[in-house]
Homo-oligomer: A and B are copies of this chain.
Amino acid sequence: MKIDRARLEYLKKDAVQGFTRYLGLVPVSLKPGDFVTRIKLQKRHFQQDGFAHAGLIATMADHTAGYASYSLVPESRRILTIEYKINYFQPAEGEYLECHGHVTKPGKNILFTEAEVYSIKGKDRKLVARAMHTMASVPATRVSRSSSTPAASND
C-alpha cells in the first residue's frame, strides 16, 4: 500500500481530538507504522503521589500505537484496540512524557503494536513503561455511530 504524505499529515492532526486533545497530546512525527507523541506534564496529569498517572501513560501508549496502525490501513478502515498489556518500570515524573508507538506485525484485520513511554527532564530520559497491543482494523462503516447498523464490535 502506498502511503502518501498528505495522508500522514491528516492522521497526525486527526490523532489529537476529544480525549487526547483534553489530555494535551502533541504529535511529533508520523512515519508509516511509526508514531512519536509527547505530553507536557502538568498537575492535572498526576496521581496521589505526584507521579504521572498510570492511566495517562497507558492512554498515550495505546493512542500512539493506534495511530501508528492507522498509517498502515486503507482510508476506509478504522482502528479499535482489542487488548493490551503494559509494564510500568518506574514512576514517571519530569517535564515531558514521550511515546514511541510502532507496528510489529501488520495485517488485514489484526495488527500487533508496541509502545515505549519515556519521561524526560532536561537531558535525563528514562523508560517508564512498555506496552504490547492488539489492534483491530475494521471497516469504517461498522463504527459509524449515526448509522442504524449494529454497533461496532471486534469481529
Chain A residues engaging chain B, CB cutoff 8 angstroms? 14, 17-22, 43-51, 53-56, 58-60, 62-63, 66, 78, 80-91, 93, 104-105, 107-112, 130, 132, 134, 136, 143-145, 151-155
Contact = CB atoms under 8 A, between A and B. Distances in A.
Contact of A93 (B20, B66, B145): B145
Total copies of the chain: 4
A110 B155 contact: yes
B107 A55 contact: no
Contact of A82 (B62, B88, B108): B88
What secondary structure prevails in chain A residues at the interface with B?
mixed
Most buried by B among A83, A86, A93: A83
B14 A82 contact: no
A87 B83 contact: yes
Contacts of A153: 90-91, 107
A85 to B, nearest CB: 4
A53 B59 CA distance: 8
Nearest to A81: B54
Contacts of A20: 47, 53
A125 to B, nearest CB: 14
Nearest to A56: B19
Given A56-B59, A109-B109, A145-B93, A48 B87 contact: no
Most buried by B among A51, A86, A136: A86
| Nearest 7 Cβ contacts at the A-B interface | A55-B59, A107-B155, A85-B85, A19-B53, A18-B46, A22-B44, A54-B81
